[in-house]
Structure 1
Amino acid sequence: MAKQVFFSFHYHDVIDFRANVVRNHWLTKKDRKDAGFFDASIWEDAKKQSDLALKKLINSGLNNTSVTAVLVGSQTYNRRWVKYEIMKSMQKGNKILGIHINGIKDKYGRIKTKGPNPLYYLGYQYSNDGKNLYLYEYTDGKWIKYPDLDTYILDTTASVENRGKFYRLSSNYPIYDWVDDDGYKNFSNWVE
Structure 2
Amino acid sequence: MARSVFYSFHYVPDNWRVAQVRNIGAIEGNKQATDNDWETVKKAGDQAIKNWIDGQLYRRSCTVVLIGSATAGRKWINYEIEKSWNDGKGVVGIHIHNLLDNQEKQSPKGRNPFDDFKIGERPLSSRVKTYDPPYLSSQNVYSHISDNIAEWVEEAIRIRNSG
Question: What TM-score, normalized by structure 1, do the two folds share?
Answer: 0.69
Higher relative helix content: 2
Which is strand-richer, 1 or 2?
A: 1
Which of 93, 100, 105 in structure 1 is aligned with 2:88? 93
Q: Which has the higher contact order (CA 8 A, sep 6+)?
A: 2
* Structure 1 Cα separation of the partners of residues 134 and 24 of structure 2: 13
Deviation at 1:177, TM superposition (A): 2.2
Does residue 120 (structure 1) correspond to residue 115 (structure 2)? The answer is yes
Change (3 A) 1:110 1:179: farther
Which of 147, 150, 154 in structure 2 is aligned with 1:188?
Answer: 150
CA distance, structure 2, for counterparts of residue 188 and residue 49 of structure 1: 35
State how many pairs are aligned. Answer: 142
CA distance in 1, matches of 2:42, 2:56: 18
TM-score, with structure 2 as normaliser: 0.80
How far apart, CA to CA, are the structure 2 residues paired with 1:186 and 1:117? 19
Counterpart contact for 2:42–2:48, Cα < 8 Å: no
Where in structure 1 do 4 or more consecutive aligned residues deviate above 3 Å?
178-181
In structure 2, list runs of 5 or more residues that go unmatched. Answer: 136-140, 155-163
Identify unmatched segments of 5+ residues in structure 1.
27-34, 126-165
Quote the RMSD (CA, aligned, Å): 1.7
**Distance in 1 between the 2:49 and 2:28 partners?**
22
Q: Is the Cα contact below 8 Å between 1:19 and 1:71 reproduced in 2? A: yes
Partner letter of residue 101 of structure 2? D
State how far apart, in whole Å, the 2-side matches of 1:5 and 1:13 are: 21
Is 2:6 aligned against 1:11? no
1:102 to 97, 100, 107: 97
